[in-house]
């Protein structure tokens, strides 16, 4: 998939995102196209756009560039696309793998999104102790994820409008 460079409002490079994500940021009015692919257009329902190579955010966001994104509960839910790490259903809570009562940290690698049911079932135990399997391992978000979080986005790639799986 083609990648698009994202500049901060101050023109400082922030991250690269997928073309799909770049188009959505432009359509949402959160970014403007700085450089486009010569001659290529994107056609989607009632919209036509140049294929962006570089976009620039309309509003300055404070993002730790190439550093770790600061941990937050909302960030964990966004990272995990609101899917429970244990059963894959919709998650509304954040579970600490090593419970906080046992010294578990508020960190990207120690937390996963979880549905209230599984969070309650796991209780004050590690997944091993509770006999619960993780569907995927927690990870530290990339600079692009951090930027999208700072933008107040959060719609995961999979939740973007389908018409953007587009004709370039
Ligand atoms: Zn669950």
The per-residue pLDDT for range 113-142, each reduced to its tens digit, is 999 999 999 999 999 999 999 998 998 887
Give ion ligand 1 contacts, CB < 5 A.
84, 86-87, 115, 118
Quote the ligand 1 centre to 161 CA distance (angstroms): 26
Q: Please state, for a pLDDT cut of 90, what percent of the chain lies above it.
A: 35
Q: Are 7 and 14 in contact (CB under 8 A)?
A: yes
pLDDT tier for residue 158 given thresholds of 50, 70 and 90: very low
pLDDT of residue 162: 47
Quote the ligand 1 centre to 125 CA distance (angstroms): 15
Quote the ligand 1 centre to 76 CA distance (angstroms): 15
Q: Please state, for a pLDDT cut of 70, what percent of the chain lies above it.
A: 82
CA distance 115 to 68: 26
Average pLDDT of the chain to the nearest whole number: 82
Quote the ligand 1 centre to 43 CA distance (angstroms): 39
Quote the ligand 1 centre to 160 CA distance (angstroms): 23
Torsions phi, psi of 69, nearest 5?
-65, 140
Quote the ligand 1 centre to 115 CA distance (angstroms): 4
Quote the ligand 1 centre to 74 CA distance (angstroms): 17
Strand segments (E) across 8-92: 13-18, 31-44, 47-57
Quote the ligand 1 centre to 142 CA distance (angstroms): 25
pLDDT of residue 100: 94
15 pLDDT exceeds 60?
yes
Quote the ligand 1 centre to 77 CA distance (angstroms): 13
Q: Are 119 and 153 in contact (CB under 8 A)?
A: no
CA distance 168 to 164: 10
The per-residue pLDDT for range 32-75, each reduced to its tens digit, is 999 988 877 777 666 777 888 889 888 887 765 556 677 889 88
Residue 157: which residues within 8 A CB-CB, separation 6 or more? 18, 20, 21
Q: What's the first-to-final CA gap in the chain, in angstroms?
A: 11
Helix (H) or strand (E) holding 4: strand 3-7
Contacts of range 160-163, beta carbons closer than 8 Å, 24 or more positions apart = 160/20, 160/21, 160/24, 161/24, 163/44, 163/45
Q: Which of 93, 119, 96, 120 is nearest to 106 (CA)?
A: 96
pLDDT tier for residue 156 given thresholds of 50, 70 and 90: very low
CA distance 154 to 163: 19
Torsions phi, psi of 134, nearest 5?
-80, 135
């Amino acid at each position: 998939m083609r990648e698009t460079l994202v500049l901060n409002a101050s023109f400082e490079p922030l991250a690269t995102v997928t073309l799909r994500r770049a188009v959505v940021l432009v359509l949402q009015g959160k970014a403007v196209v700085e450089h486009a692919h010569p001659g290529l257009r994107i056609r989607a329902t009632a919209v036509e756009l140049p294929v962006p190579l570089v976009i620039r955010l309309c509003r300055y966001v404070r993002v730790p560039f190439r550093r770790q994104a600061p941990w937050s509960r909302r960030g964990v839910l966004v990272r995990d696309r609101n899917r429970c790490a244990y059963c894959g259903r919709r998650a509304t809570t954040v579970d600490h793998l090593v419970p906080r009562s046992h010294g578990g940290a508020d960190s990207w690698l120690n937390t996963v999104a979880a549905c209230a049911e599984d969070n309650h079932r796991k209780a004050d135990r590690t997944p091993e102790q509770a006999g619960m399997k993780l569907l995927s391992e927690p990870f530290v978000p990339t600079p692009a994820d951090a930027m999208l979080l700072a933008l107040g986005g959060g719609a995961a790639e999979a939740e973007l409008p389908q018409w953007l799986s587009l004709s370039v």
